[in-house]
Chain A
């Protein structure tokens, strides 16, 4: 209790100041931190350390619509970076260079697959104009997409040293635009291809027999029966449809990167896009080989749409019989000479 009235009068302003200071400190958190120690509930360092385990990430609160901006530290990003810097080039190299080597060896050992009985001169319609149009829309887009995509993966290592930085940058800029926009006619071509050819590409027992005989291409003189599309062609069809669908879905997320919920999902789709691309390119190299230099008479199917009757009899005998029964094919042609066994 104050000893005199003067002391009491002096202590009232001091008390008021202290009260105001306390109110100021309580209302101003920054100042409060200087004088208040954090409680046990406000510290979460163990959660912070645990979040750096594999598969998890440290996120913050954001007020903008871009959900991926909430990621602060994502340790899995290191694994993704290591994959596309070290493992992906190995996968791509083995797939593409390996396929080139296999095709070169096959050509050297087996040689070009000839029409055994020679060309008859008579023709049969194999692919109508719309079918060839669809094929070439898809194929031409595929070639540009493949080359521009390989440039994204390997261009800096393989092409930049050859052209220099300015030319490489200009070329890569246009290649990226071509890649982004030609994806759309490619996807359209895939859908149309699926619709027009699905009915002739359902696998069956005949395909097993064809495969057991190595498709007739491993050894000369063998011509296993086949309908409109043999097992090899059906394999290519499904590789294109399934591979193309995976490329389309993954590519869509890369075109519109705000669609995935988080950066881990985006990284997953880039891995799918890159790996499937390498395998897809390798498979298409085999398709391009057999359809051009690998087999005599094969290119005409997609070139003019008409193939030689003897060629068709040797490679798609059951289909020729069906077409002749419908009256769509001539019944002439030089009979195939039987080889002396």
Chain B
């Protein structure tokens, strides 16, 4: 039982850790798709904007 519970806890910790890491490195599309040639500005509160 202890091994089983430890396994569940480990899986949950890894999953939460990965979610924190991925959310830290993820960029919104209007930042990711901006290049030197194309500037996609902050779209405000439309569909692809923040929040």
Contact = CB atoms under 8 A, between A and B. Distances in A.
Given A140-B8, A141-B11, A185-B10, A65 B33 contact: yes
Contacts of A188: 14
Contacts of A3: none
Contact of A185 (B3, B11, B32): B11
A193 interface: no
Interface string B11-37: 100111011000000000000110101
A137 B14 CA distance: 10
B6 interface: yes
Contact of A184 (B8, B15, B32): B15
Interface stretch (A128-136, A151-159, A229-237, A286-294): A128-136
Given A63-B38, A66-B33, A133 B3 contact: yes
Contact of B33 (A64, A135, A181): A64
B32 A65 contact: yes
A177 interface: yes
Contacts of A95: none
A188 B6 CA distance: 15
B48 interface: no
Nearest to B13: A185
Which DSSP category, helix, strand, loop or mixed, fits chain A's interface?
A: helix
Contacts of B4: 132, 136, 140
Nearest to A130: B3
Given A64-B35, A64-B38, A65-B32, A181 B19 contact: yes
Which DSSP category, helix, strand, loop or mixed, fits chain B's interface?
A: helix
B11 A133 contact: no
Nearest to A63: B38
B38 A182 contact: no
- Of the listed residues B4, B6, B7, B38, the one surrounded by the most CB atoms of chain A closer than 10 A to its CB is B7
Nearest to B21: A184
B15 A182 contact: yes
A221 to B, nearest CB: 34
B14 to A, nearest CB: 4
Nearest to B35: A65
Contacts of B14: 184-185, 188
Contacts of B10: 133, 137, 185
B3 A132 contact: yes
B38 A133 contact: no
30 contacts: A63-B37, A64-B35, A64-B38, A64-B40, A65-B32, A65-B33, A66-B33, A132-B4, A132-B7, A133-B3, A133-B7, A135-B7, A136-B7, A136-B8, A137-B7, A137-B10, A137-B11, A140-B7, A140-B8, A140-B11, A177-B19, A178-B15, A181-B15, A182-B11, A184-B15, A184-B18, A185-B10, A185-B11, A185-B14, A188-B14
B43 to A, nearest CB: 14
B31 to A, nearest CB: 11
Contacts of B35: 63-65
